[in-house]
Each structure stands twice: as structure tokens, then as C-alpha cells.
Structure 1
Amino acid sequence: MTSAVGSVRVGARLDTPLSRWLWLVKWVLVIPHAMVLVLLWAGFLVLSVVALVAILVTGHYPRRIFSYTLGVLRWTWRVAFYTTAAFGTDRYPPFSLGECPDYPATLDIAYPDHLSRGLVLVKWWLLALPHYIVLAFLLGGGYVASRSDAAAGAGLIGLLALFAVIALLFTGRYPRGLFDLVLGLDRWVLRVGAYVALMTDEYPPFRLDLGGAEPAALDIGAPPPAPDELGTGAQSATGSGPWTAGRVVSVVLGSVLVLSGLGALAGGAALLGADTFGGDTAGYVTSPDFRATGTGYALVAEPLRLGRATGAAPSDLLGEIRIRAAGTNPAGVFIGIGPAAAVDRALGGVAHDDLVVPGDRGRPAPRPTAGGAPSGVPAQLIGWTASVAGPGTQELRWTPVAGDWAVVVMNADGSRPVVADLSVGATAPGLRPLRVALLVAGGFALAVGAIVVAAALVAAGSGHARGREDRS
């Protein structure tokens, strides 16, 4: 029995000497890496879902997927170490999914022989919640949802790294104590990242292991497998290992297709739900009622700009528009729609409230504009294209045509303030062909993307098998 390191092993060394000023432009220098990593993380996300299903069914993380996800984490860690996670080296990160043991920042994750089927459903969200709270502090409040340690954002890690390079700028030295602390925090983040990415069942310890060298773990057992036993092989992005450039590109393109297909399917399902459950008995897809409380003489919606989309008239897409308003003024409520330019002229010097979207909870919010009283009652302000006025709930129906239009709600007697409960609906015949197109295109993209990803995984598996034969 020998002392063993943990399943997630994070190493780093501080390169010396470091340039006093290079860190100021590293943000620009890593733009190519950022562009590639965005695509690689699309594949990481899709393959992680595949791995989740595989673990749930078999209790094993597929080796070829493990090889890819470990490669993405390694690439991300090298870029992060070069930039905001430490600024610990001036050596430009390699464009590689491989191990790169000579680079100052290294990451190894032992391939698990078996993973718990039950934990896979809860460890990435429920069990990791305490760590997410810590990560929100380390990486910044808006960064909790990610599974990597890419840019540290405005959290403690980024702040400490900034202090270190400011000291470097003025003294020419990177404070060693700060480096050890930053690396301990980075190590915490990477351990959590590997756990929520389902790559290990070893729960991340609540301890701060300082310094660039990985300490011995408290558990006693066999030493971790060598890198070749992890299924990584020579997994260079351009090498001859299981993850060659062509296979990586296939996974990325397939994953983008899968994610695009899922997005299109979600959009089609949302349109189907809106048409099926959001419509009323009259066939209108209607917004929920919301109360608009103004301070002036009118509530004016943002201009409605209607053109001809692919030769279709606005009514072909929107159908008939219905606007309902129930005012609180005893005189009743006025609803009018007219050319936006004419409405601007009529209300240019009038105190009114523009309904700005988005407002509170996504509903239009009044934005007051100072001015005087209108020149007359609402019906006489302009030649309205359509209007209605009266006590109680009023309903304006209008068949839209191309142009710029403004909707105005006022008290029927032209007084102030205007307070009304409003809702907007449309028959929206254009939703039907659009949702069909989204569902068909989404299903096609999802199927093609899945086939491309599966083919890349099979090829990677055969490449790994050939690599093992060559080593034997």
C-alpha cells in the first residue's frame, strides 16, 4: 500500500523571468485560442451528455469521450494559466488536446474503472452546490454555471493574479506567495470541474492545496495509471493519436449541428405550445394582461415597423392584431393606431409615457417624457388608421400593412394620468409554417450531427486501438 495522489492532478510552475508588460496584451494574444475553445466546448457539452447516458446504463465513462473531454480541459487550463488564472508563464499555449508535459501547466485525470450510476444524476448539480458557492467567490458571481476554469473573470482568482502582475510590472518579480495561493485556488476549481463533468466520483476536498506541485492525497491505494493507460495516447490536435485534427473537427461540427438542432426543435416546440396553449377561443395568441401606469396624457408603444418578409405581407405572418385596454378613468379609454410620424408630431410637445421593452419581468415599462397638454381629445389629434373609445374594456382589431405604426392609449377625455390594463394578441398564421420548418430542420440537424459525432468517436476508438497495438 502506497500513498496515492488524487484522481485529479493539477501541476504548474512559475516561469522566470517573466516579462513586465506582456500580460497587458495576453488578452488579445489568446483570441485565436478563445475562438477554438468555444467550438471545442460545444463538443465537450454534447459528449458529456452522451457520457452521462453511458454511465447511467453501463457504469463506465467511454474512454474515447474521456480522452476528448480531458484534452479540452487541458487546453483550457493552459490558456487560463497563461492569462487571468495565474499569468504564470509567457510561453504561448500550444494548440493541442495532448498532454504537453513540458508546458508549465499540466492536468491529469485518472480514468475511472467504474462510476456510480446513481451519483451521475445528482453530483453535477445537487452534490456540487456547496462548491458552486465557493466557485462563485473564486471566479466571480456570473461564472458558476461553467464546467471549466477558463477566464477567471472578476472573482478572487482574477483579482489575486492582477495584484501579482502589477507587482511584476513595478518590481520585475512575481510574488511567490501569491503564485502558490492562486495555484491552490485554481486546483480547487479544476477538481470541481472534473467532478461535475462526471469524470470522477472522487468528491472535491474542501481544502486549499497551495503551490504548483500536487500534494499526496489522504487515501491509500495503488498509484494512478500512467498517462497512456488513461486512453489519451498521443492525443495531439494534429498528431496521429486517437484525436487527430479531422476527428476533432468532426466532433465540433457534429456537436454544433446537434446543439443547433436542439435549439431549432426547442423553438419549434415553443411555437407549437404558444399556438396550442397560448391561444384563446377566438384564435388569438395573446400576451398576459399587464398594468401600465403612466404620469402623462398618453401611453405610446414603441413604433411597430412592418415590412415585407420574403415577399409576404405583414398580415400573412401576423394575421389580425388585437389590442385590449381597460382604463381606470371613469370617462373610459381610447385606443388608436396610426402612422408613427403623425403620432410623433401630435405628441411631440405633449407629456406622455413611452412603453419601453423590456421592462419589469419582460413587460413594457413606462418612460415619461415632459410636455404640456394635448391640443384636443384623442380622436381629433390625427387621422387614426384605426381607433376605438369608450368605458370599460375596449378592443381594437387591425389588419396590419407595411409601414411604421404607433399604438396610443389615452383616457377618452384626454386627461392625465393614464392607467390601464393592456394585452396584445394576433392570429399569427405565420407561426404554423415556421414551427414546421423549425421542427423539420431541427430534427435533420440533430440526426446528421449525431451521425457525424458517432463516426468521429468510432474512428477515435479505432485510432486508440491501433495506438495500443503499436505500443505493445
Structure 2
Amino acid sequence: MSTGWEARTSGADGGPEPEALPELDVPPPGRQRRWTVLLRGLLLIPQFVVTAVLGFAAFFVTVAGWFAALFTGRMPAGLGGFLSDYLAYATRVTASAMLLVDRYPPFSFEARGYPVRVSLPPPGPLNRWAVLFRLVLMIPAVVVASLLQSGWFVLAWVFWLIALVLGRLPETVFGAVAAVARYRMRLMAYVMMLGSAYPKGLFGEDPGSRPVPVAATGTGAGGGAGPAAGVVSGPDPTKGAGAETGDGYGAADGYRAGAGAGVDGPSGTRPLVLGTGSKVLVVLFLLLGLLGGGASGTAGTTSDDAGAGPGTSFRAR
């Protein structure tokens, strides 16, 4: 029985395949109900509590996974399954809190049909040296995430007011906020050793670029080979965000996680192509975070990334 933890295959040129980054699928900006925008923070309080509890457990699972990966060079399937479940759950809450989607996130790891979806690369061998020094290696990315978080928080009330008046987020704001959410998700995946790719792509992809499929192969729910409603393999870039490909897109064959497989419609974030206005906003987040002392909260952000997760780190402080 295939476990999906074999070494990655070689690319077409005989060399190693390029490192695949975790991907975030969010629908393009659309209409949002004004009453849900008005009460978004209050409505999400139960989700913040659940995410905090899950994040507490995820911290200890990450520590256990670190020791296992250090000695075996792999993240155990069971631990990786829970962490990817948690990552997808927290990302859905984050997307709702940041007004990227209007639909309320479910209180479940199973999230078929939910418009926010996380795709992870297939689980494979981890470099033991990179695992050993993961806490040091992640510091630059944690600093960047801390600055982004602080900068976004400064402007969050402005975005909330815009969404309340217009009933939607403008494209420019949506792109910048989605870039922050995706970077945070990629950092979380790196911290929890759900992949070896370092967080990148803060300013999006080049215009005309095609999304790199993230094919996940391995164990389904329950540990055996088979489908799960989890982290999905990457879509055919020529189809919609929920389109199934011939290799089983929508059937999570790797880490199991409730990532909303089976969502129909185009993706507004894969590829994530940012206009000039969105890039300026991202830079503004960084500057505001720097001016606001975001770097001084690095230690707290590190704790969030290892445990509390993105779903709680974007709450009002």
C-alpha cells in the first residue's frame, strides 16, 4: 500500500523537481452582506476560541513532529495530517476575518464546498539540517510576517469601512490582503514542517504566469490510501479553482485536511497577480508595521506561528 512518503521524483530534465509552495485558493472579490461585515468580529469570536484551542494542541504536535523529523527525516503521517487540518481550518478563519470571503467558516475539518482552500505539496523527505535549524531559519520570515500583521491591523478598520459602504473589497485591497494571508499560510506550513519550501511570493506572481500544480499523493483519511476532504492536489491552471484534473484533483491523497475540496469557480489567488496599487499597499503594511514596532513582536509572532496560528493572530489586540 502506498503511503506517499517516498522520495520525490525527478523532473523532465532529469534534475530534481522544483520545490512546490503551498497554495491558497480564494474566489475573486465579490459582494458581501453588509450586516456580516458589520458584525464580522463578533460573529467570529467562537471561531477564534476554537482556533486558539486547536493552536495550543498544534504547538505540541509541531514539537513532536520536529523531533520525529530530526531523527527520521520525515514528518509522521498522523502528525502531518493533524497539522494540515489545523492549517486549513485556521486559514479559513483568517480569510473570513480579513474580509476575503463572506461565507462563515464551518466548525469542522471537513469543509467541502467552502470557497477557501489550501493546497500543500506532497509529503516527502526533509533535510535534517534544515529541521535542526528551523527555528533560526524562520526568523526573517517571521519578522516579515510580524510587520505585515501589524501594518494590516493599522489599516483594518479602513478596509472594514470600505467593505461596509461598498459591500465588497476593491480589487487593489483584495490583492494586498490576500498576499498577506497567503504569506502567513506559507510561513505556518514551513514552521510546522508541512513542506521544505521557504515562504516567498509576497508580491505575487508575474502577469501571465501559470499556477504550478501542487499534486499531493499519500494517505487519505484514516491513514490508508484514498480520498479525504483535505489538502487537495493542484488544479489544472486552465480550469476553474474547483475543477478536477485527471490525477484526482479534489481528492486529498497526501496530508488530510479540511481544505474545501470540490469548490467550483475561478480562483482569485492562483496565480496571485498584484497590480501596482496592491504592491504599494503591501509595502505600506511593512512600513506601518516597522513604524508601529512590529518587529518587537517577533517573539510573540513566533509563538503564534508554532501554535496559535493565523486564525488567531489577526484578532484585535
- Per the TM alignment, residue 158 of structure 1 is displaced from its structure 2 partner at its CA by 3.3
1:52 aligned residue: 66
Unaligned runs of 5+ in 1: 140-154, 218-222, 237-241, 245-472
Distance 1:158 1:6, change over 3 A: farther
* Greater mean deviation of Cα atoms: 24-33 or 187-196: 24-33
Report the RMSD for the aligned CA atoms in angstroms: 3.1
Bigger proportion of residues as strand: 1
Tell whether the 8 Å contact from 1:110 to 1:224 is kept in structure 2 after alignment: yes
Higher relative contact order structure (alpha carbons within 8 Å, sequence separation ≥ 6): 2
Tell whether the 8 Å contact from 2:32 to 2:102 is kept in structure 1 after alignment: yes
What letter corresponds to residue 113 of structure 1 in structure 2?
G
Q: Tell me, what secondary structure is at the counterpart of 1:216?
A: coil
1:168 aligned residue: 163
What letter corresponds to residue 108 of structure 2 in structure 1?
S
Distance 1:95 1:113, change over 3 A: same
What letter corresponds to residue 24 of structure 1 in structure 2?
L
The equivalences for 1:269-418 within 5 A come to: none
What letter corresponds to residue 199 of structure 1 in structure 2?
L
Cα distance in 2, alignment partners of residues 229 and 13 from structure 1? 27
Which of residues 18, 22, 27 is equivalent to 1:8? 22
Tell whether the 8 Å contact from 1:160 to 1:178 is kept in structure 2 after alignment: no
Per-residue deviation, residues 130-154 of structure 1 (Å, max 9, x unmatched)? 1122112111xxxxxxxxxxxxxxx
- Per the TM alignment, residue 196 of structure 1 is displaced from its structure 2 partner at its CA by 1.4
Tell whether the 8 Å contact from 1:59 to 1:114 is kept in structure 2 after alignment: yes
Q: Tell me, what secondary structure is at the counterpart of 2:53?
A: helix
1:131 aligned residue: 141
What letter corresponds to residue 80 of structure 1 in structure 2?
T
- Per the TM alignment, residue 206 of structure 1 is displaced from its structure 2 partner at its CA by 5.7
Cα distance in 1, alignment partners of residues 130 and 171 from structure 2? 39
Distance 1:5 1:81, change over 3 A: farther
- Per the TM alignment, residue 159 of structure 1 is displaced from its structure 2 partner at its CA by 4.0
Q: Tell me, what secondary structure is at the counterpart of 2:117?
A: strand
Cα distance in 2, alignment partners of residues 116 and 74 from structure 1? 24
Which of residues 211, 215, 222 is equivalent to 1:225? 215
Q: Tell me, what secondary structure is at the counterpart of 1:107?
A: strand
1:102 aligned residue: 113
The equivalences for 1:211-250 within 5 A come to: 216=211, 224-226=214-216, 229=218, 231=220, 233-234=227-228
Which of residues 102, 119, 123 is equivalent to 1:112? 123
Tell whether the 8 Å contact from 1:8 to 1:107 is kept in structure 2 after alignment: yes
Cα distance in 2, alignment partners of residues 243 and 108 from structure 1? 11
Distance 1:10 1:132, change over 3 A: same
1:178 aligned residue: 173
User: Normalising by the residue count of structure 1, what TM-score does the alignment of the two structures yield?
Assistant: 0.41
Q: Tell me, what secondary structure is at the counterpart of 2:228?
A: coil
Per-residue deviation, residues 294-340 of structure 1 (Å, max 9, x unmatched)? xxxxxxxxxxxxxxxxxxxxxxxxxxxxxxxxxxxxxxxxxxxxxxx
Per-residue deviation, residues 402-437 of structure 1 (Å, max 9, x unmatched)? xxxxxxxxxxxxxxxxxxxxxxxxxxxxxxxxxxxx
- Per the TM alignment, residue 35 of structure 1 is displaced from its structure 2 partner at its CA by 2.1
Unaligned runs of 5+ in 2: 1-10, 222-226, 231-254, 258-317
Tell whether the 8 Å contact from 1:51 to 1:65 is kept in structure 2 after alignment: yes
Per-residue deviation, residues 356-400 of structure 1 (Å, max 9, x unmatched)? xxxxxxxxxxxxxxxxxxxxxxxxxxxxxxxxxxxxxxxxxxxxx
User: Normalising by the residue count of structure 2, what TM-score does the alignment of the two structures yield?
Assistant: 0.59
**Which protein is bigger by CA-based radius of gyration?**
1
- Per the TM alignment, residue 164 of structure 1 is displaced from its structure 2 partner at its CA by 2.7
- Per the TM alignment, residue 112 of structure 1 is displaced from its structure 2 partner at its CA by 2.3
Cα distance in 2, alignment partners of residues 160 and 131 from structure 1? 21
Tell whether the 8 Å contact from 1:188 to 1:204 is kept in structure 2 after alignment: yes
1:69 aligned residue: 83
Tell whether the 8 Å contact from 2:96 to 2:102 is kept in structure 1 after alignment: yes
Cα distance in 1, alignment partners of residues 72 and 184 from structure 2? 28
What letter corresponds to residue 224 of structure 1 in structure 2?
V
Q: What is the percentage of aligned positions where both structures have the same residue?
A: 25
Per-residue deviation, residues 161-181 of structure 1 (Å, max 9, x unmatched)? 433331222233421111011
